[in-house]
Amino acid sequence: MKISNFALGNMPAVYVLILISILTGTLSYINLPREASPDIQIPFLIVTTVYPGTSPQDMESLITNKLEQELVDIDNIKEMKSFSQESVSNITLEFDPEEDVDDVINKVREKVDLATPELPDDAEDPIITELNFGAFPILLVNVSGEYDQVRLKQVAEDIQDRLEDIDGVLEVGISGGLEREVQVNVNPDQLRHYRLGLEDVQNAIRNENISIPGGKLDIGPYSYLLRVPGEIKDPLQVRDFVVKADEHNPIYIRDVAEVVYGFKDAASLARMRGHNCITLAVSKRSGENIIHIVDSAKAVVEEMLPTLPATTTVSYTSDQSKDIAMMVGELENGILTGLILVVGVLFLFMGFRTSLFVAVAIPLSMLISFFVLDLMGYTLNMVVLFSLILALGMLVDNAIVIVENIYRYREEGYGPYAAAHKGVTEVSMAVASSTLTTLAAFFPLVFWPGIMGEFMSYLPITLIVTLSASLFVGLVMNPVLCATLMRLNKKSGSREAYLNSPFLQLYRRSLEWALRHRFAVVSLAFLALFANIAIYATFGAGVEFFPDIDPKKVFVDYEMPSGTRLDNTDALVRELEQHLGEYRNIETYVAQVGVALGEFDTGAGEAGPPEKARISIDMVDRDFRVESTYATMESLRVAVANVSGAKVIVQKMEEGPPTGKPINIEIKGKDFQELGRIAEDIRRKVETVSGVVNLQNDFDEGRPEIVVTVNREKAAMMGVNTAMIGNTVRTAMN
């Protein structure tokens, strides 16, 4: 082959190329970012609008429907789903993965801007969120201590500030703990005495706690900025705000209300192994090294521990760097093991020096692959690492054939250069064809469509790069190394002894018999093929996309009826918490009450409605488990089977794609209550099917309501209207 002949004619240049490959490959390996998942574009956008204190029905009519009327006109959108719940409207938009995400976001933003004037004035502006794997937390830091919740929140915020200063950290979310607020508790009797309304108190606070720029003023040679500052510095200053003033005496807020610097009602609760805690969710920037960031985060926390209150404890859960570090270690161990085994096997009949020519194909191919992957902007994620480990066993195939053939010519008396030339020329086409057929088997995966295709495309591309690198090493570098460094094994009888071994003699006789009975051998091969197909179809375990490996993390999700108070949900969660310490497979667990459990769940436990809760369970390392995680999950299902008044689901953490339930049944119609009845009928029938677990019906009748119906005639006689009454109710309750 011409490339091999060119290499043999320019051997000094090839040695320089080998040196460059080692240097650039090593640097690329060191610099390649480590990530848990490939950095792919998830073709989903979520439009979220918050309108506090609004029922799901009103959220749908006032917010969701008006946004949908504009968004439905966007051509790029494949599917649009909306979910209206108390105070929150979520609209999920799915677009084609081939579309430019920035273009889609701009179109969505334009439509949202058109709909915004139609939304209620006191609703928050809609937020457009782009989904990507980089936004998912890579580490949860749980902070607890035997002191009050206010101090615990301050400690957690101090840690949060330090973690956000780490290079590569995108954000650090915080959940749990108490938040300060200024509470103005109005006395209705005093309001009536001074002939004031709630809106008067509200307007007084709003109009005083404000800062307004006043422009600029030129005085002499200087130009001054004008500003009217009004923000309060001390929360108790609110007492001295004037609500109303006549000619004689002003009426202060302290005259009609009690002002307290207190705490917000807890919207969520968090506990670590039964102790109150605050959770910090660390997310990294796209393309950053997950192992470096997690190690840096832990180092920062350990550095701060001596300065924190004595009883402070910090634990880590959902550490995504562990799997990547393990896979990197497996890759390095695989390379080292491959070198040892290749040298050991070939040493028996080719000598130590010659066996090294084959063994060097492994590190050289890997280093070249690292360099190419770095140029392509790839990261060392779980798919790329799996592909490299998969290719590891195929890297020496080309080198073995080429080096063995060159060695054979050296034994026949050819000189080093002639043996290298004849040896590589004779088998080069066969070696290239063998590699290309392997590449051809993986190449169609590059064109796999959709988000699943984008996710899995890293596998064939990495294999193509790695096997192409091994072919390049075999055709270019191995012949040059053999031509200059190969020596014949001084133990001349070792090769003959190997060839005359009982094993090879048995193989030779079997091969001769097979060649004499070709038809019978081919017939037996086809018979075995069809027999395997028939046996698997009859007794096989079925087909699945990814192997269902023993999960390392388990969720126990609670959903109470809408309107359930936080403390009632918490009491139910505590019942299971009391028994989790009895499970030897469980390493640690975090209970979070009042969390969001949705389609795009990050596992971090974001704040949500009070009727939902989650216990996140980390299992001990696989080597120390006394039973499979699935057995533990089944035990947990039995433990919560008799829980009344709540839906309890025990499930593993999804690591995708694909994620979600294997089967979804969607029911469409206009009558919401009728849809709920049909869904319940289907649920009762489906739950009788063998093998069905975690059957969920997402129909929700909504939170109980107290409806204030306005008598418009009487209201008009009193000088008020529906809007004034509604605003008064909202102000009084919030």
Q: What is the pLDDT of residue 601?
A: 53
Q: What is the pLDDT of residue 691?
A: 78
E strand segments, 334-449:
none
Residue type present at position 291: I
The domain boundary residue, chosen from 611, 640, 658? 658
Q: Are residues 344 and 441 in the same domain?
A: yes
Distances (CA, A) of 436 to 321, 398, 432, 472, 591: 35, 12, 6, 12, 53
Instruction: Give kind and range of the element (H or E) at residue 58.
Output: helix 56-59
In the structure, what pLDDT confidence band is assigned to residue 658 with cuts at 50, 70 and 90? low
In the structure, what pLDDT confidence band is assigned to residue 88 with cuts at 50, 70 and 90? confident
- Locate all alpha helices (DSSP H) within 118-260, ordered by sequence: 149-164, 188-193, 198-208, 253-256
Q: Are residues 443 and 392 in the same domain?
A: yes
Q: Are residues 286 and 156 in the same domain?
A: yes
The domain boundary residue, chosen from 609, 633, 658? 658
Which residue in 319, 318, 260, 272 sits closest to 295, CA to CA?
A: 319
How many Cα atoms are found within 13 Å in the side-chain-facing hemisphere of 635?
Answer: 15
Q: What is the pLDDT of residue 159?
A: 94
Residue 356 lies in a domain: yes
> How confident is the model over 391-397, as a mean pLDDT?
82
Collapse the DSSP code of 694 into the 3-class scheme (helix H, G, I; strand E, B; otherwise coil) and give the result: coil
Q: What is the pLDDT of residue 526?
A: 94
What percentage of the chain exceeds 70 in pLDDT? 93
Residue 576 lies in a domain: yes
Which 3-state string (H, E, C) describes 458-479? HHHHHHHHHHHHHHHHHHHHHH
User: 229, 290 in Cβ contact below 8 A?
Assistant: no
User: 477, 469 in Cβ contact below 8 A?
Assistant: no
User: 131, 90 in Cβ contact below 8 A?
Assistant: no
Sign of the Cα torsion 56, 59, 61, 67 reads negative
Q: Are residues 292 and 342 in the same domain?
A: no
Residue 557 lies in a domain: yes
Question: Looking at residue 312, which CATH number applies to its domain?
Answer: 3.30.70.1320
In the structure, what pLDDT confidence band is assigned to residue 37 with cuts at 50, 70 and 90? confident
pLDDT exceeds 80 at position 501: no
Name the more confident of 103 and 35. 103
pLDDT exceeds 70 at position 500: no
If you ran DSSP here, which 8-state letter would residue 445 be given? G
Lowest mean pLDDT among 86-90, 510-514, 555-559: 86-90
> 542 - beta bridge partners?
none
CB atoms within 10 A of CB 228: 9
Which residue in 508, 520, 593 sits closest to 558, CA to CA?
A: 593
Q: What is the pLDDT of residue 223?
A: 86
Residue 521 lies in a domain: no
Name the more confident of 30 and 135. 30
Q: What is the pLDDT of residue 135?
A: 66
Which residue in 646, 635, 657 sits closest to 571, CA to CA?
A: 646
Q: What is the pLDDT of residue 26?
A: 94
Please measure the distance between the N-terminal and C-terminal CA atoms of the chain and give it in whole angstroms: 82
Sign of the Cα torsion 450, 455, 457, 459 reads negative
User: 290, 321 in Cβ contact below 8 A?
Assistant: yes
User: 165, 158 in Cβ contact below 8 A?
Assistant: no
> How confident is the model over 665-685, as a mean pLDDT?
84
Q: Are residues 311 and 433 in the same domain?
A: no
Packing angle of the helix pair 396-411, 416-442 (nearest 10 deg): 160
Distances (CA, A) of 316 to 131, 139, 141, 319, 632: 25, 7, 5, 7, 22
In the structure, what pLDDT confidence band is assigned to residue 134 with cuts at 50, 70 and 90? low
Q: What is the pLDDT of residue 495?
A: 56
The domain boundary residue, chosen from 245, 263, 281? 263
Cα 387 to chain centroid distance, Å, stands at: 20
Q: What is the pLDDT of residue 24?
A: 95
Q: pLDDT tens for residues 326-363? A: 878 887 887 788 778 877 777 766 667 777 888 888 88
| Domain that residue 100 falls in | 38-137
Lowest mean pLDDT among 14-28, 148-162, 304-318, 684-698: 684-698
Q: What is the pLDDT of residue 609?
A: 79
Distances (CA, A) of 718 to 198, 227, 711: 17, 42, 11
In the structure, what pLDDT confidence band is assigned to residue 38 with cuts at 50, 70 and 90? confident
Instruction: Give kind and range of the element (H or E) at residue 358.
Output: helix 352-359
Which residue in 271, 277, 314 sits closest to 574, CA to CA?
A: 271
Instruction: At 72, list the tokens.
Output: 């439905």
Q: pLDDT tens for residues 183-239? A: 888 888 888 888 888 888 888 888 888 888 888 888 888 888 888 888 888 888 888
Q: Are residues 345 and 479 in the same domain?
A: yes
Residue 638 lies in a domain: yes
In the structure, what pLDDT confidence band is assigned to residue 436 with cuts at 50, 70 and 90? very high
pTM passes above 0.75: no
Q: Are residues 401 and 482 in the same domain?
A: yes
CB atoms within 10 A of CB 686: 13
Alpha-carbon distance 74 to 80, whole Å?
Answer: 10
Mean pLDDT: which of 119-123, 554-558, 723-727 is highest? 554-558
Packing angle of the helix pair 518-539, 502-516 (nearest 10 deg): 100
Alpha-carbon distance 52 to 131, whole Å?
Answer: 24
CB atoms within 10 A of CB 179: 12
pLDDT exceeds 80 at position 450: no
Q: What is the pLDDT of residue 494?
A: 53
Q: Are residues 215 and 338 in the same domain?
A: no
Residue 297 lies in a domain: yes
Q: At residue 281, what are phi and psi to the nearest 5 degrees? A: -105, 115
Q: Are residues 112 and 230 in the same domain?
A: no
Name the more confident of 500 and 634. 634
**Could you identify the residue written with the tokens 């969920």?**
696
How many Cα atoms are found within 13 Å in the side-chain-facing hemisphere of 111?
Answer: 23
Q: What is the pLDDT of residue 392?
A: 80
Q: Are residues 67 and 190 in the same domain?
A: no
Q: What is the pLDDT of residue 521?
A: 93
CB atoms within 10 A of CB 255: 18
The residues, any chain, with a CB within 8 Å of residue 63's CB and separated by 6 or more, are 49, 51, 54, 84, 89, 119, 120, 123
In the structure, what pLDDT confidence band is assigned to residue 606 with cuts at 50, 70 and 90? low
How many Cα atoms are found within 13 Å in the side-chain-facing hemisphere of 411?
Answer: 18
> How confident is the model over 242-259, as a mean pLDDT?
85
717 by Cβ neighbours in 10 Å (0-12 / 13-18 / 19+) ranks as exposed
Residue 716 lies in a domain: no
Question: Looking at residue 97, which CATH number applies to its domain?
Answer: 3.30.70.1430
Q: What are the DSSP calls for 407-428, one per residue?
A: HHHHHTT--HHHHHHHHHHHHH
Angle at 99 between CA 96 and CA 103, to 5 degrees: 125
- Please list the helix, strand and coil fractions of the chain in percent, rounded to the nearest 5, in that order: 50, 20, 30
Question: Looking at residue 251, which CATH number applies to its domain?
Answer: 3.30.2090.10
Distances (CA, A) of 580 to 142, 187, 349, 530, 628: 18, 47, 59, 49, 16
Residue 205 lies in a domain: yes
Q: What is the pLDDT of residue 545?
A: 64
Mean pLDDT: which of 71-85, 290-304, 495-509, 669-683 is highest? 290-304
pLDDT exceeds 90 at position 529: yes
Which residue in 157, 158, 142, 163 sits closest to 313, CA to CA?
A: 142
Instruction: At 158, list the tokens.
Output: 């101090």
What percentage of the chain exceeds 90 in pLDDT? 19
Count of structural domains within the chain: 5
Name the more confident of 180 and 589. 589
Size of the chain, expressed as the number of residues it contains: 734
Q: What is the pLDDT of residue 467?
A: 93
What mean pLDDT value characterizes the chain? Answer: 84
679 by Cβ neighbours in 10 Å (0-12 / 13-18 / 19+) ranks as middle
Q: Are residues 458 and 399 in the same domain?
A: yes
Cα 159 to chain centroid distance, Å, stands at: 23
The residues, any chain, with a CB within 8 Å of residue 410's CB and separated by 6 or more, are 416, 419, 486, 488
Alpha-carbon distance 113 to 730, whole Å?
Answer: 26
Q: Are residues 601 and 574 in the same domain?
A: yes
